[in-house]
Amino acid sequence: MSTKPAAKVQDFPAESMEKIAYSSVSTIPTVEPNDQVRLGYHVWRWLTKKEGTIEQAVKESGSRLTISVAEAAAVITESLKKQGAIR
């Protein structure tokens, strides 16, 4: 059993690609919180590599969404536009 407290988590700066990607999926309803994290990772990967489409990234993530893939892709795209990550 450990007697030390857990390490503090340092957030990414607001303008970083990681923060932009994960905040763009924060409103997407998922079955479990980990599904949202997985979706955020795939959006970040799409932002950095620009391969395929956002809809493909959503499908590829395997996240269990409570809305359709097309709806999720539209919400994410709108959020990324508002944050200035895409045009």
Which has the closest alpha carbon to 85: 13, 11, 21, 12? 21
For residue 2, pLDDT beyond 80: no
> pTM for the full model?
0.85
Distance CA 20, CA 6 (A): 26
Distance CA 69, CA 79 (A): 15
Q: Are 61 and 73 in contact (CB under 8 A)?
A: no
For residue 67, pLDDT beyond 90: yes
* DSSP 3-state of 21: helix
Distance CA 5, CA 70 (A): 42
Give 14-45 as a DSSP string.
Answer: TTSHHHHHHHHTTTS-BSSHHHHHHHHHHHHH
Q: What pLDDT was estimated at residue 71? A: 97
> How confident is the model over 13-60, as pLDDT tens digits?
888 899 999 999 999 999 999 999 999 999 999 999 989 999 999 999
Q: What pLDDT was estimated at residue 1? A: 63
Q: What pLDDT was estimated at residue 58? A: 96
